Structure 1
Amino acid sequence: MFAVTVRDHMMIAHSFTGEVFGPAQQLHGATYVVDATLRRAELDADGVVVDIGAFAGLLHEVLGELTYRNLDDDPALAGTNTTTEALARVVADRLADRIHRGALGPGGQAAADLAVTLHESHIAWATYDRPL
């Protein structure tokens, strides 16, 4: 299996519901380094998994919908504790939706799966893997 990963970042504000979150139940900010990885069994005719520039641009577009926003105010996320794990899934699903609609052309359509990792610090991160 071949894989290509692109990296970007996002800065958000949010709060959590639940005693387990302690002081994070209050509004606070978070900065995530975000990695998105596409995998496919074979390279295309040009010898690549996908156009890396297009993939980086797509990740930037998806993160642009979330960054510099208070996620508590986003109707699409209502009722969701926007934990690192949950946000990894949100980003992955939004990327997958665009890939299915052709945003990365045939290279994206040939990808088998997608993984999104949100690094919340240099010692902690969460990943969501999904098929395409």
Structure 2
Amino acid sequence: MFSLTVADHIMVAHSFRGEAFGPAQRVHGATFVVEAEFRAPRLDAANLLVDIAAARVELRAILDEIDYRNLDTVPEFAGQNTSTEFLCRHIHGRLCAALRGGRLRESGHMVEAVKVLLRESPLAWAAYEAPVTGGAG
């Protein structure tokens, strides 16, 4: 299986509901390094998995929707705890839609799975991985 990863970062504000979250129930900020890994069993005729430039552009476009935002005010996330895991799945779904829509060029149609990893710090991160046609994608 081949893989190709692109990365970027975002800064958000949010709060959580529920006593299990302790002080994180108050509005706080988070900075995430976001990694998107595309996996395919073969390469295209040019020996590419996906167009890396197109993958970077698409990831940035998805992240621009939430970067420098208070996620508590994003209508799409209403009623949700926007945990790191939740955000991984959200970004995964958007990337899979981009793949299915041809926005990562023709070679993107060979991608079978996507993994999205958000690093909160060098010591803590979360990820979501699923087939392009399954899961949240």
- Residue 89 of structure 1 aligns to a residue whose secondary structure is helix
Listed one character per residue, the Cα deviations across residues 35-82 of structure 1 (whole Å, up to 9, x for unaligned) are 000000001111111111110111111000010000000010111100
Query: Displacement, 1:98?
Result: 1.6
1: CA distance between counterparts of 2:97 and 2:80? 19
Residue 3, structure 1, aligned to residue 7, structure 2: no
Residue 82 of structure 1 corresponds to 82
User: Greater CA deviation, 102-111 or 114-123?
Assistant: 102-111
Deviating above 6 A after TM superposition, structure 1's stretches of 4 or more consecutive aligned residues are none
- Percent identity between matched residues is 48
2: CA distance between counterparts of 1:127 and 1:93? 13
Query: Displacement, 1:106?
Result: 1.6
Two-structure CA RMSD over aligned residues (Å): 0.6
Structure 1 unpaired stretches of 5+: none
1: CA distance between counterparts of 2:84 and 2:44? 33
1: CA distance between counterparts of 2:13 and 2:121? 16
Amino acid aligned to 2:51: D
1: CA distance between counterparts of 2:18 and 2:100? 35
Residue 71 of structure 2 corresponds to 71
Query: Displacement, 1:92?
Result: 0.6
Structure 2 unpaired stretches of 5+: 133-137
Amino acid aligned to 1:100: R
1:98-117 paired onto structure 2 within 5 Å: 98-117=98-117
Kept in 1: contact 2:54–2:105 (CA 8 A): no
Residue 39 of structure 2 corresponds to 39
2: CA distance between counterparts of 1:106 and 1:41? 15
TM-score normalised per structure 2: 0.94
1: CA distance between counterparts of 2:107 and 2:66? 26
TM-score normalised per structure 1: 0.98
- Residue 44 of structure 2 aligns to a residue whose secondary structure is coil
Query: Displacement, 1:102?
Result: 1.1
- Residue 5 of structure 1 aligns to a residue whose secondary structure is strand
Kept in 1: contact 2:62–2:91 (CA 8 A): yes
2: CA distance between counterparts of 1:78 and 1:117? 23
